[in-house]
Structure 1
Amino acid sequence: MAIIIKDNVFTLQTQNSTYQMKADSKGVLLHTYYGRKTDETDYSYMISMADRGFSGNLYEAREDRTYSLDFLPQEFPVRGSGDYRISCMHADLGTGVRDCLLFFHDYRIWHGKYELEGLPAMFASEEEAVDTLEIILKDSQEEFYVHLYYGVFEEHDIITRAARVENRTDKEIRLSKVLSACLDMDHDGMDMIHFFGRHAGEREMERVPLFHGVTELRSTRGTSSHQHNPFVILADKTTSEEMGACFGFSLLYSGGFHMHAEVDQFHQTRLVMGIDDSVFTWSLQPGEYFVTPELAMAYSGQGLSGLSHCYHNGFQKNLIRSAWKDKRRPILVNNWEATYFDFNAEKLLDIAKEAAELELDMLVLDDGWFGKRDDDYSGLGDWYVNEEKLGCSLKELADNVNELGLMFGLWFEPEMISEDSNLYRSHPEWAMVVPGRKPIRGRSQLVLDMSREDVRHYIKERLFAILDSANIQYVKWDMNRSVAAAYSALLPRERQGELRHRYVLGLYEVMEAMLKRYPDLLLEGCSGGGGRYDAGMLYYAPQIWCSDNTDAIERLSIHYGTSFGYPMSSVSAHVSVCPNHQNGRVTPFKTRGICAMQGTFGYELDLSKMTEEEKEEAREQVRTFKERYRLFQFGNYYRITSPLENRDFTAWEYADKDGKEAYMGVVYTDLHGNPAAQSVKFQGLLPEGNYVMQKDNKPAGTYTGAALMNGGILLPVPVENYDSCQIYIRLEE
């Protein structure tokens, strides 16, 4: 078992890391070590005790003024304990003061992975080396308990964290902050790597030094958001892609989140992360409990690539549940940028016929097929097929698409409602609008109150009716605005602070019900592109539309940032038309395909308007993706160059886990007269192996793995703006 317990010291071991905590003589649960794998030595000897001025002392410490929670490293710090640093919980236990003090009470361990009611969480089979530790803390005065859960995934070097807060008193307890986990480290000088952005420009990587004080990242938008992603990395100053220590923190939650990191007066670093607490409150009645979302932590001593592989492999195997997780995802064409709202069955079937000729797998019908929906201003919520617009039933359309040898998929936006809709006219109270005030609109639409059972019942009823009516094998679930001025007509005034979390729980309930009813359905997440790209969504949707920005060059940095914490098999990426609809850029068709093959791959254009040359290029792209999909979907992903640092080209690699083959994509982002030679080095190969190389599917020699990893290869000279190339190698037979 990966959990070792001795004298109230709890040591968690993964393949390459050790995590340790200790219940000390006062009953405080201290954090003692996290990093490179070591033995089960009690590392509390590294904690420095001293009389620190203006640092309060526990009553239990008696006259010992060297004992203060104001500087001791802790597993779950709370407000009211004399620790003035950032904390995980603010709880009013009935006095009107957010005052709590937790001591070690009990523990238990078991083989397998804990589960979280109503929330996404990593999972494991009985055969896997995964164990759970539960540590129970109790308030010093009240029957108030916090259960800390630790899931140890040895193979992936991942430790998951979650907390369950339990009220066993006979009175109401009010929570105003409950985060998922804390990590205390005894040193400063660390860098924080985070992923900021905007609509059509998500997950831009930024590396900044932590300073003395508090650094915060937060989404108050009701979703994980385009602006800040709920995944961060702490890294040593010298950590690079291939070398150095780093720690990852990924929150499995699709609502607003809060991460704050503090470097304190004694140069110690603390990071806490969990649900956004800006407007959060939660009432715990006697006998009730609250469960936090899961946080997946990982440590790598082999640099940022090593950390990414922990998350890629762990999420692919132990978070994504879909029946499609181990299958090649269908190469699809989405009609949105081809037709927008202007379509009928005839136009759609013309696109489908072209798709069949190019050997694609699926046609996806996007927005505009339901209710009165010819623009952004009406129809959302009226999930009834507009047969007059289509010119046929949805079943007839799907059957005709199927007869061409294609699967059929459909776009939904179930969480939204238009004011110009029959649903709003019948149930205005279902929209989240503050009484007596004008609504805050986004994309000319309002948000349905997913915390309401009647709303969830309606959405499930309409979703199921549509999915039962035709052979629909894929659903794109979209959400095209943020939550603002949220109010629920069913929650009392004093409990409105619960709404945003209850909304997310309602969303998960509907998605779970849909996937239970249609277990073979391929669900793709979307929120104006990548506005809800988080590990929690991957539990339901094995792929997520990465960005509404389909420009191949801007996608380089979006894919780059996404790759740090999420498997590339989850990145939904398409070839679109040029000039690009978002920024007007013109790039070669070949380059658009190579960039899109970083992810699940597909097309978002009018196939009938492609030139014969483009169609032949598309056939080649489809053949390449189908032949090498296992490499793209399951290979180790390496960021060879950064689009943020290398102005000349961006390169990435997929290497088979056993080192037998690899693929590298290269996109040139600048041109020069009299250019210098450019070279790249492969990673993840067998040094003694002989590899046969192809450049753009043409023979290009045989090289040893040692040569390719240490000497590298010369890149071809680009011949046009935004040129590209693809390099494939395999062991010589």
Structure 2
Amino acid sequence: MIFFDERRNMITLSTAATTYQMKVDSTGVLLHTYYGPRLRGGDLSNRIVHEDRGFSPNPYEVGKDRTYSLDTLPQEYSSCGVGDFRQPSVEASCGNGSHTVDLRYVRHTVREGKYALEGLPAFYDEGVTAQTLSVELRDSCTGLEVELLYGVLEEYDLITRAVRVRNGGQTPVELERVSSVCLDFPVGEHDLITLGGAYAREREPVRMPLTQGVHTVGSVRGSSSHQQNPFVVLCDHETTEDAGRCWGVALVYSGSFQANTEYTQFHETRLTLGINPFHFCWTLQPGESFTTPEAAMVFSCEGLGHMSRQFHRAIRLNLCRGPWKDQRRPILINNWEATMFDFDAEKICSIAKAASQVGVEMMVMDDGWFGKRNDDFAGLGDWNVNQTKLPGGLGPLAHRIEEMGMKFGLWVEPEMVNEDSDLYRAHPDWAFQVPGRPMTRGRSQLVLDLTRAEVRQYIMDNLRATLNSAPISYVKWDMNRSLTDVWSAALPAQRQGEVYHRYVLGVYEILEMLHQEFPQVLVEGCSGGGGRFDCGMLYYTPQIWCSDNTDAIERLRIQYGTSFCYPCSTVGAHVSAVPNGLTGRSVPMQTRGVVAAGGTFGYELDLNEITPEEMEEVRTQIQHFRSCWDLVLRGDYYRLSDPFRQEAFNAWMHVAPDKSRALVGVVMGVGHANPIRPLLRLKGLDPNADYKVNGEVYGGDQLMYGGLALPILQEYQALQFDLERV
């Protein structure tokens, strides 16, 4: 998979269907020469043409050769201050105040297996063929050493990248920017796809043609955010869902990030992705090192859908961990939208009893079970059970739930504190706040300083005590505000630029302890819904609450955008009550069930308050999901329509890896008089096989190329049908 051509000084990385190539040139610069469909061989550096370009300076060692400039060369990891005026991959303030970094090749090594990153999430190589490439670059003047790490997971066409920076000099160095990945495209015009949005409108695909300049997306919120997602795609203008070239890059990180895409004066494209440089400054004393988060790349020449499916397989099987990564998750019911803070043990048991009668398998108790937590203003940080609501604690309630044949789950928000709490009164310095400035609140709460070991220990001690106090099978880990007033009382002034990243490392440390001590507990990530839906969290939490917006019609868009990178097995999706609390919209129970069945599937309402007909529909939904869960969670996912463009209907399907079965979901859009009959073309089937659909037999080629005529349904009605090869 990784081959070094010593005669040409060329390193080639190959996966099942792709080739990635780099070359050391005569000056020691590591050039990026190719990333695309798999090649039989060859040196792609012949695509690089040296020309004399005005205002593109030349390194000292090339003498009078004005055709050689770092400003025009595609580089594997771009330098800073030495003639390349495009986006740098690394920027550092050296001992003399200079920000110049000039990286040249020193050596490389190849080993079997995939590298791991201490304290950071990363893809792993269990069950797949993998190799690691390590390339060492060095700045000879400062002694700054940069190790480029590449992991090749052959079956998924996945190449991962991470960077270790070491101060090999004699004076301290301050890292001010360090990207995880740099991708240079020497020629071509591209579109950029990002996942934008807002709270309750997460991961909306935005596609735009690149024009000259730098396009930047990212987050400075301390988390990956609702507004942008650490996943981007570059593709050709003509690339579609099913054809064309595209390069997807996902950052395995849950904090502030930045993706820069630069389209240059010479129509080159450079993509850099990594930790956001906003308020980032990491001091490296001589001999110390810093490791970046990992980035994962997939190239596809078969369109966006194939790229997504490669990410889905890799994330589900080689990023998510633990016994739940490839199992059906329990069908649960959560009380939040039914009760909010207004509940007690009897109310929880009432909801659970109704749910148990139709096959729901887990009762999850949400916010409000601890401290003086009757509203948003108090209690966070005090993880002692509210005895008024739950006499005797969690144990008696959990056992009552178990007697109904259900498991018991719990909501927590360990990263936060209210001012009205015993914890804050005892340790006000444990919350982020800048001395002498008034605090900024979010949801009436403050953020605990997870850079401090004693804070992390307090959180873990409370989580451990809670989980040992009762039979708890599931934890919903929430985070309901962005970071502000980011200043730590435990760090000196000159190291405050490390706080944002150290905070994320603190979150990961606690989640890793939780994973090690309670491996059987299913942990679902959440941040006001989808505010921290990223590959970093999926390493610790195999599913994430997709959005606080549970309106089925809105969820069509949210789950569509999420699918560009993230598999259905990671998408927390529930049927909720109507009218919906955020939109006021009412749609049929069947439609809500069909949409929620595109994820982990559960309920977010009080089943005591629905009609007998709806209760029977719930029973049917649960029985059907149990029969096809492996298709949803393990199958190949196909987007059949775009809900941001298609008004008539939205459709998707899950196909078994061997193409023997499939599940199709369809939701009608806005109703119109005298409508056009919708035609649905399926994907992913065997064109040479026949499939039974609703008692009729069709050829796979008929269904994919000719299409299936759908009945005309009313506004927001849904269809869900199975296909089975005959």
Query: TM-score, normalised to structure 1's length?
Result: 0.98
| Cα distance in 2 for residues equivalent to 1:675 and 1:323 | 48
The 3-state SS of whatever aligns with 1:198 is: coil
Q: Output the amino acid matched with 2:177.
A: K
Residue 52 of structure 1 corresponds to 53
What are structure 2's unaligned runs of at least 5 residues?
A: none
Whether 1:426 and 2:426 are equivalent positions in the alignment is yes
Measured after TM superposition, the shift of residue 81 of structure 1 is 2.0
Q: Output the amino acid matched with 1:730.
A: E
Residue 525 of structure 2 corresponds to 525
Residue 41 of structure 1 corresponds to 42
- Report if the CA contact (8 A) 1:144-1:169 is conserved: yes
Q: Output the amino acid matched with 2:26.
A: S
The 3-state SS of whatever aligns with 1:261 is: strand
Residue 73 of structure 2 corresponds to 72
Q: Deviations over 1:543-593 (max 9, x none)?
A: 000000000000000001000010011000000000001110010000000
The 3-state SS of whatever aligns with 2:396 is: helix
Residue 92 of structure 1 corresponds to 93
Pairing 1:491-502 to 2, within 5 Å after superposition: 491-502=491-502
Residue from 717, 723, 729 that aligns with 2:723: 729
Residue 642 of structure 1 corresponds to 642
Q: Output the amino acid matched with 1:703.
A: Y
The 3-state SS of whatever aligns with 1:202 is: coil
Measured after TM superposition, the shift of residue 674 of structure 1 is 2.0
Q: Output the amino acid matched with 2:217.
A: L
- Report if the CA contact (8 A) 1:663-1:728 is conserved: yes
Residue 343 of structure 1 corresponds to 343
Q: Deviations over 1:233-253 (max 9, x none)?
A: 001000000000000010000
Whether 1:356 and 2:365 are equivalent positions in the alignment is no
- Report if the CA contact (8 A) 2:460-2:510 is conserved: yes
Whether 1:32 and 2:33 are equivalent positions in the alignment is yes
Residue 62 of structure 2 corresponds to 61
| Cα distance in 2 for residues equivalent to 1:128 and 1:586 | 46
The 3-state SS of whatever aligns with 1:380 is: coil
Residue 115 of structure 2 corresponds to 114
Give the ranges of 4+ consecutive aligned residues of structure 1 lying more than 2 Å apart after TM superposition. Answer: 1-7
The 3-state SS of whatever aligns with 1:387 is: coil
Whether 1:714 and 2:709 are equivalent positions in the alignment is yes
| Cα distance in 1 for residues equivalent to 2:699 and 2:198 | 43
Whether 1:228 and 2:193 are equivalent positions in the alignment is no
Measured after TM superposition, the shift of residue 683 of structure 1 is 1.1
The 3-state SS of whatever aligns with 2:491 is: coil
Q: Deviations over 1:257-294 (max 9, x none)?
A: 00001011111000000001011000001111000000
Measured after TM superposition, the shift of residue 54 of structure 1 is 1.1
Q: Output the amino acid matched with 1:677.
A: R
Residue 451 of structure 2 corresponds to 451
| Cα distance in 2 for residues equivalent to 1:169 and 1:693 | 69
Q: Output the amino acid matched with 1:143.
A: G
Residue 442 of structure 2 corresponds to 442
| Cα distance in 1 for residues equivalent to 2:367 and 2:435 | 30
Pairing 1:210-289 to 2, within 5 Å after superposition: 210-289=210-289
Residue 407 of structure 1 corresponds to 407
Aligned pair count reads: 725
Measured after TM superposition, the shift of residue 483 of structure 1 is 0.4
Percent of aligned pairs with the same residue? 51
Q: Which moved more, 1:208-217 or 1:187-196?
A: 187-196
| Cα distance in 1 for residues equivalent to 2:546 and 2:206 | 18
| Cα distance in 2 for residues equivalent to 1:4 and 1:564 | 33
Residue 477 of structure 2 corresponds to 477
The 3-state SS of whatever aligns with 1:627 is: helix
- Report if the CA contact (8 A) 1:151-1:161 is conserved: yes
Residue 616 of structure 1 corresponds to 616
The 3-state SS of whatever aligns with 2:81 is: coil
Q: Deviations over 1:134-164 (max 9, x none)?
A: 0000112232210000001110011000000
| Cα distance in 2 for residues equivalent to 1:435 and 1:364 | 39
The 3-state SS of whatever aligns with 1:205 is: strand
- Report if the CA contact (8 A) 1:4-1:12 is conserved: no
Measured after TM superposition, the shift of residue 686 of structure 1 is 1.3
Q: Output the amino acid matched with 2:98.
A: V
Measured after TM superposition, the shift of residue 4 of structure 1 is 4.2
- Report if the CA contact (8 A) 2:2-2:133 is conserved: no
The 3-state SS of whatever aligns with 2:615 is: helix
Measured after TM superposition, the shift of residue 600 of structure 1 is 0.2
- Report if the CA contact (8 A) 1:344-1:391 is conserved: no
The 3-state SS of whatever aligns with 1:388 is: coil
What are structure 1's unaligned runs of at least 5 residues?
A: none
Q: Which moved more, 1:51-60 or 1:155-164?
A: 51-60
The 3-state SS of whatever aligns with 2:434 is: coil
Q: Deviations over 1:491-518 (max 9, x none)?
A: 1111111000000000000000011000
| Cα distance in 2 for residues equivalent to 1:153 and 1:104 | 24
| Cα distance in 2 for residues equivalent to 1:622 and 1:74 | 53
| Cα distance in 1 for residues equivalent to 2:441 and 2:566 | 31
| Cα distance in 2 for residues equivalent to 1:725 and 1:176 | 53
Whether 1:146 and 2:146 are equivalent positions in the alignment is yes
Q: Deviations over 1:658-683 (max 9, x none)?
A: 11011110000121222221111111
Measured after TM superposition, the shift of residue 388 of structure 1 is 2.0
